[in-house]
Amino acid sequence: MNETEVWLEQAIRMARENAANGDGPFAAIVVRNGEIVGTGVNRVGSEHDPTAHAELLAIREACTRLGRTDLSDCTLYASGEPCPMCMGAIYWAKPGAVYYACSKAEAADAAGFPDPLGSFYAEMSGPAEKRTIAVRRHDAQGKLEPFFVWASR
């Protein structure tokens, strides 16, 4: 069993336990130099927090522990395929590699697990007015000021 499988199987065990405890069937681990620097399990149900996904929590824990937002010397292992929100977090933290065990399609086919964001990428690449959730730009006084303050720091 190679290193990737060792960490993925640990994430899977954490995900199984989390599901047995009544929360989402997902877990993630961030590893650096063979050591765990961050873990996360899905807490959406227990905390009523739609952002409490395993990958996002594991990235947060690793970054705050290491004191930096860059995880390029780390690897992220996730029990399931990252959702678009977690992909965004992955792009910001830039782990050197990302591995996941179970794809969205496998989870759907084998256990009927829903993927309500399946259309997300298609939606986002299409026109704003055709999206399920309208995201509109609206002009407002001083909108550039925060950026000017940022630029003058």
Q: Map residue 6 onto helix, strand or coil.
A: helix
Which pair of structure tokens corresponds to residue 4?
């990737």
The answer to whether the beta carbons of residues 99 and 75 sit under 8 Å apart is: yes
- Active-site residue flag, 47: no
Chosen residue from 33, 34, 35, 110 binding its own copies by CB under 8 A = 110
Task: Output the smallest distance, CB 34 to its own copies, in A.
Answer: 17
According to the binding rule CB under 8 A, does residue 127 interact with its own copies?
no
* Backbone angle region of 22, left / alpha / beta, with phi > 0 → left and psi within -120 to 50 → alpha: left
Is there binding between residue 33 and its own copies (CB under 8 A)? no
- Three-state secondary-structure class, residue 29: strand
Contacting residue, 30, 34, 87, 129, with its own copies by CB under 8 A: 87
- Check binding of 98 to its own copies (CB under 8 A): yes
| Shortest Å, Cβ 35 to its own copies | 18
| d(C-alpha 54, C-alpha 79), whole Å | 9
Query: Shortest gap between Cβ of 80 and its own copies (angstroms)?
Result: 8
84 phi and psi angles, rounded to 5 deg: -60, -40
The site string for its own copies over 129-148 (x = CB under 8 A, - otherwise) reads ---xxxxxxxxxxxxxxxxx
The residues that are catalytic are 55
